[in-house]
Amino acid sequence: MKNLLLLFSLICFVSCNDANQEKQKQNKSESEKTTENDSVQNFGIVIHGGAGTILKENISDSLEQAYKDKLEEAIKTGHEILANGGTAIEAVQKTINVMEDSPLFNSAKGAVFTNEGKNELDASIMDGKTLNAGAIAGVTNVKNPINLAYEVMENSEHVLLSGKGAEDFAKEQGLEIVDPEYFYTENRFKAMERAREREKQKSNKTAFYDPFIKDEKFGTVGCAALDKNGNLAAGTSTGGMSNKKYNRIGDAPIIGAGTYANNKTAAISSTGWGEYFIRGVVAYDISAMMEYKGVSLKEATHEVIQNKLGELGGTGGIIAIDHDGNVSMEFNTAGMYRASMNSNGEMSIGIYKE
């Protein structure tokens, strides 16, 4: 009997202990979950659809609504990816695809025309976790240039491909190729013809920098995102500047000028007069100010766009998000198509200066 009792208490002790250990394990994984969740509070996304002389009096109510609807569709696309645990890179790419497929923006479908009546597309993407990047310039038949920039980043040992070589690479990667006619839109073609006409009345050298002409040249799309794992990414896609010549390449495919992302600082996409953004290394300058001077995203973007870019004579803007989810949409033009959305689902959409 004594032995039986002893055996019974032993079984009891062992099973109680197992149950305790199981409970401890459960508690541990619960607390791990909480820490994981704590680090996911600040995901967010921000986009632009180009900056320039965008004035309310020049835009009809229905066109304004069309821009707002498309910006909303794009930002919600990326936000949903992030909310479901997708990566910042995926969110950037898919969000940009929505704007690339719309004739409203100077990117892919709505790209501006070169002086020769062609559409030459530039794009870039950067991963803030690895500092890996991909970019393409001067492609004429790739439906979604940002997807080609992504393939360059993921599946080549290069960063920047251009022209025919980039198009061959797109085919090898199985990307959607379209007839260049796909990029034709009447208003962009007419804008280029107007610019060409005005240019004829001036000397070649000054025409490109004519303040009257330059405002018809702008419009680009870009996106910057922070995902639930704290990774940042940015991307930019454009047709460049209307009436461009000599296979001119702007800032959009230049890492550090048009696009930059670094988990230590921020993800940034630029839009505006590309020559100035290249000379000012604008996107990297913002990141460098944050990294080396320890200033906030807000201070860095204000200093670079309102002071440094302006002093050079450049016009345009940026959208950016930092590693804490703070967002900046800074521009020195009359307007910039823009939108942002945070982890609480709060969305803001803007076109003109407040």
Give the footprint of ligand ASP on this chain (CB under 6 A).
Answer: 50, 106, 218-220, 238, 240-241, 250-252, 271-274
With both helix axes pointing from N to C terminus, report the angle between 145-155 and 163-172 in degrees, rounded to the nearest 10. 80
- Which among 192, 187, 185 has a CA at the least distance from the CA of 213? 192
Nearer CB in complex with ligand ASP: 220/287: 220
Nearer CB in complex with ligand ASP: 315/340: 315
In angstroms, the CA 194 to CA 298 distance is 38
- In the complex, the smallest distance separating the C-beta of residue 65 from ligand ASP, rounded to whole angstroms, is 22
CA 226 from centre of chain: 11
In angstroms, the CA 222 to CA 282 distance is 14
In angstroms, the CA 317 to CA 330 distance is 5
- In the complex, the smallest distance separating the C-beta of residue 275 from ligand ASP, rounded to whole angstroms, is 7
Q: Do 318 and 302 meet the contact criterion of CB atoms below 8 Å apart?
A: no
Nearer CB in complex with ligand ASP: 76/338: 338
**Angstrom distances, CA of residue 119 to CA of 93, 111, 242, 243, 312:** 21, 6, 9, 10, 28
Name the catalytic one among 220, 238, 265, 271: 220
- In the complex, the smallest distance separating the C-beta of residue 333 from ligand ASP, rounded to whole angstroms, is 10
- In the complex, the smallest distance separating the C-beta of residue 271 from ligand ASP, rounded to whole angstroms, is 4
Nearer CB in complex with ligand ASP: 120/151: 120
Tokens of 296: 């906030």
In angstroms, the CA 142 to CA 85 distance is 29
Nearer CB in complex with ligand ASP: 43/337: 337
- In the complex, the smallest distance separating the C-beta of residue 231 from ligand ASP, rounded to whole angstroms, is 25
Q: Is 206 a catalytic residue?
A: no
Per DSSP, which regions of 109-231 are E strands? 121-127, 132-139, 160-162, 221-226
Annotated catalytic sites, by residue?
A: 220
